[in-house]
Chains A and B, each alone.
Chain A
């Protein structure tokens, strides 16, 4: 038996969910280490929300098993240490933000001065302190999402599950959330982040899984997913055909409006190429690696059959 703290934050094996004939998630196997920020990336309808709901015990898996914080999914005690922001967040409109947090604090069994301090801290963390006593009905969608984040952060959870946490936020709000996630990482909190916003995931996540049609098609660090990066872009001038001759040993060469492109060459060979160009008496203005972004890689993966 692994002890609770030695177990991963999340471990899922062959988790699947079917709604009638619709397969929402077909085979999810993943492991999220404690203290990491895990990005769960996928197009709309890929099965991200279904996966999260199963991990929280809100939806029953059709098959497969999963453990969260060392306990089977849906375990009541484990949920004490989990914060959750749903994708479609709604909070009682007739309460103020402070009262919503107080309600959740009492569901967590908190009481006394510690509880009041927790609530103040959560309000401050999501920037709602100035409006804390206004009714939720008067909040914008973005403020309601901030409140949802506050609810998820209440009571120092070990694991925070955020389903599209910035869907209603402006760029400034998104920046705030990234800072918040960085703060959580420093405290050692595990974050499971559902998103289709690639830059968001790219900027904050330690590890990433890409899900497509209910199946994980790639996972690992950002570098693992991007794979070995290849290709160089060169701006240089030389007399006659010596430029092409100098670059010939490095494989396929194309030219677009005065920029030479070596699409297949490894980045490590850059010094060799520069040396060859100099030896051919070329004037070198720029040699830059072609870097595929996560977005491009994601589109590659998502559009491949």
Chain B
């Protein structure tokens, strides 16, 4: 089965089993998102992709596309809320973009630009988070984790491992590592794993690759995320 639906008055096709966000992406329509990556099981946790489907609030990354749906994506109300949610993610962790190696390649930052985010709006939590530099090739900076769960899924679904998990409740969420010591060096991760590449922020970085591309020449320095995101191929993991 396949058919068409409309997003903000634009008619787009979809194929059976597609979610709204995937139908949109295929048609070149950008719906902001952070916890979604084509090819991985949808998660539906960041809520940035929230759209109205026939008047009802839905997550575009999990909601199945269906014939005749009227989807509102670009309304002022939705963009405003997306901005606030993005700001929530910024104040929850500790994001010092100017000193972050991911700057320019970071989806969180790029979504912030897309939504015209000028300040963090909410008071910062100043959470105490750690850095795990134990692994020879990979660095984890927990300060930048937004709990999108992509590394968890990538490790499980693509690498056939179970290196990551998310534990804790509420604001005490934390990323955990599957190893006897809890440190990355004692896990069975390897630098080639998709899980290492998939992180939308600078929470997982490959060591000794920093600043290869100078700031200014990076992905979202060149093009807004709204155009990049639609060009991405399935499980393409280049940010």
Q: Do A and B come from one complex?
A: no
A residues with a Cβ closer than 8 A to B are none
